Amino acid sequence: MANYIAKTKLSACEESGKKIIENSKKEAESIKKEAQLQAKEESYQIIRKSEIECQQKRNKLESINEQLIKKSNSLVQKIEVIESKQKQIDTQEKEVEQKLQEINELHQKQRDELLRISKINIEEAKQELLNLLEKELNHEAGKIIKNIEEKAKEEGEKKAQNILSMAIQRYSSDYTVESTISVVHLPNEDMKGRIIGREGRNIRTFERIAGVDLIVDDTPEAVIISGFDPVRREIARIALEKLITDGRIQPARIEEVIESSKKIVENNIKEEGEKAVFETNVRNLNPKLINILGKLKYRTSYGQNVLQHSKEVAYFAGMMADELGLNSSLSRRAGLLHDIGKSANMEVEGPHALIGADIARKNGESLKVINAIAAHHEDEKPESAEAILIQAADAISASRPGARREMLETYIKRLQQLEEIANSFEGVEKSYAIQAGREIRIIVNPLEIDDYLATKLSRDISKKVEKNIDYPGQVKINVIRETRSVEYAK
């Protein structure tokens, strides 16, 4: 019985073992299949990713290839255009050479014919030929000048106008014409007697110490301070207003108030210089130069305040330099300092541009800034593009409408000089200086001056005007040639 039970258990264990083994095999097979599927999936993902990357690189290469093809086509087109232009130039050169040869042959024929017909000597014939040749060469020179100017205008005029108009539009400023007098208002008419003092001692003391003239006339409740030195006039104005407010007007008090007013003006000069440097964004300027700049607040040129003009030149030069890709900070610096010589030109002999350059040199400015200051009125040759910009900016600021004024005698004299220069050329019938001397219109004889000679004539007159006349801004030379045909029906 025990053996039977043992066998039964053994048999059951064997069956159970077989089932376990079979289940294990099935599980192993299942795990194997899952592993194989997972491996296949991973390999598929890797292959797919590789294919996508390959496709992206292929697309990128195709795009680069297309760009290279386009650039290659563009280069081919440009080369074709250049070759076409070169052919045109070669053709034009051949035509010019042919025309020159024809001209030489014609001159030779004229010479032979002239000698044969007139039987004059060689020297006379030579002179006659030279005169003819000069006229023809003038004609050709005028034609060449006109062609060159037209091409230059097409390429450069538009760009220059854009830059200049941009600079002017970006900067706007009101102009107040400076005068050589200051008016001080009085609280009442009795104050005039106190200003004059007993037997005129107060007014004489004031004029002697302040260095100005006091005009006490019939103008109601006002005294006029007259003087050509704006600094002294400003000191006198402040001092007189203090004396009027204080009421104690006597020689000792006058001297004391004028001295205190000098200190006020000195502080104002320093503040104006610092303000100008800050507004124009000019850095690391010598304190002496800042003080000199402040003095320009009280100086004028043709009625235009010199400090305001200097700031304008700095603005214009900086903006134009930015547009042209030049050094804008150097241009602003040179523009602000270009007229510092006017602060000392009454004390030192010489042109204010050279005086200013010497002041800048003594105060550690760079060679480019010094040259730009010295060259802004062509007292020296400009050595940089920035120096030429200062000349242009100076002319723009000075020539803006309302910026400057002149004495009537100077104005009339310049108009007369312009007309005299124009009338001195052959072929000119009439000339008119207009627009306050900024343009001269010249009427020429159409039988003596053709279109090409008119171009040369305008250029020659402009050169003579530049050489012989001093003027602010620029003068337009307008040569007019016209032919009229008149007939009457009877």
Please, what is the end-to-end C-alpha distance for the chain in angstroms? 169
Residue among 391, 228, 389, 401 nearest 323 (CA): 389
147 is a domain residue: no
Predicted confidence (pLDDT) per residue in 403-443, tens digit: 444 445 566 777 888 889 989 998 898 898 886 677 889 99
| Domain containing residue 372: CATH number | 1.10.3210.10
Beta-carbon neighbour count of residue 333 at 10 Å?
Answer: 29
Band of the pLDDT at 349, cuts 50, 70, 90? low
Same domain, 293 and 385: yes
Same domain, 310 and 259: no
Band of the pLDDT at 176, cuts 50, 70, 90? very low
Same domain, 246 and 349: no
Same domain, 296 and 258: no
Cα distance between residue 341 and residue 352, in whole Å: 4
Band of the pLDDT at 1, cuts 50, 70, 90? low
162 is a domain residue: no
Identity at 101, one-letter amino acid code: Q
Same domain, 299 and 376: yes
Mean pLDDT across the stretch 114-132?
67
Task: List b or e across 193-218, with b for residues whose CB sees 16 or more CB atoms inside 10 angstroms.
Answer: ebbbbeeeebbebbbebbebebebee
The residues with which 213 forms a beta bridge, in sequence order, are: 226
Cα distance between residue 279 and residue 42, in whole Å: 70
Same domain, 347 and 442: no
**Would you state the pLDDT for residue 175?**
44
Count how many domains the chain has: 4
Identify the weakest region by mean pLDDT among 53-67, 138-152, 192-206, 448-462.
138-152
Cα distance between residue 467 and residue 435, in whole Å: 21
244 is a domain residue: yes
Identity at 203, one-letter amino acid code: I
Rg (CA), the chain: 45
Band of the pLDDT at 174, cuts 50, 70, 90? very low
- Which residue among 399, 433, 454 closes a domain? 399
Same domain, 427 and 363: no
Cα distance between residue 432 and residue 421, in whole Å: 11
Cα distance between residue 383 and residue 375, in whole Å: 9
Band of the pLDDT at 68, cuts 50, 70, 90? confident
Predicted confidence (pLDDT) per residue in 88-106, tens digit: 888 888 888 888 888 888 8
The residues, ordered by sequence, that sit 6+ positions from 354 with a Cβ below 8 Å of its Cβ are 341, 374, 379, 380
Predicted confidence (pLDDT) per residue in 363-373, tens digit: 888 999 999 89
Identity at 319, one-letter amino acid code: M
**What is the value of pTM for the model shown?**
0.48
The residues, ordered by sequence, that sit 6+ positions from 101 with a Cβ below 8 Å of its Cβ are none
pLDDT at 345 over 60: no
Cα distance between residue 82 and residue 88, in whole Å: 10
Same domain, 322 and 383: yes
Same domain, 332 and 395: yes
| Domain containing residue 472: CATH number | 3.30.300.20
User: C-alpha angle with apex 472: 327 to 167, nearest 5 degrees?
Assistant: 35
**Would you state the pLDDT for residue 404?**
47
Contact (Cβ atoms closer than 8 angstroms) between residue 317 and residue 334:
yes
136 is a domain residue: no
| Domain containing residue 205: CATH number | 3.30.1370.10
Does 118 or 425 have the greater pLDDT score?
A: 425
Mean pLDDT across the stretch 224-234?
80
- Which residue among 372, 399, 426 closes a domain? 399
Same domain, 252 and 285: no
**Would you state the pLDDT for residue 122?**
64
Mean pLDDT across the stretch 12-29?
80
**Would you state the pLDDT for residue 407?**
46
Does 86 or 142 have the greater pLDDT score?
A: 86
Written as one string, the DSSP assignment of 245-263 is: HH---SHHHHHHHHHHHHH
142 is a domain residue: no
Q: Give residue 394's domain range.
A: 280-399
149 is a domain residue: no
Band of the pLDDT at 178, cuts 50, 70, 90? very low
Predicted confidence (pLDDT) per residue in 246-276, tens digit: 878 888 888 888 888 888 888 888 888 888 8
Cα distance between residue 462 and residue 477, in whole Å: 6
* Mean confidence (pLDDT) of the chain: 80
72 is a domain residue: yes
The secondary structure element, H or E, covering residue 213 is: strand 213-215
**Would you state the pLDDT for residue 401?**
47
- Report the percentage of the chain scoring pLDDT > 90: 1
Same domain, 96 and 114: yes
From residue 22, alpha-carbon distances to 14, 16, 134, 243, 300 in Å are: 12, 10, 124, 127, 116
pLDDT at 295 over 70: yes
Cα distance between residue 49 and residue 60, in whole Å: 17
Give the tokens for residue 33: 């299949």
143 is a domain residue: no
- Which residue among 378, 399, 420 closes a domain? 399
The residues with which 181 forms a beta bridge, in sequence order, are: 226
**Would you state the pLDDT for residue 169?**
47
Same domain, 379 and 438: no
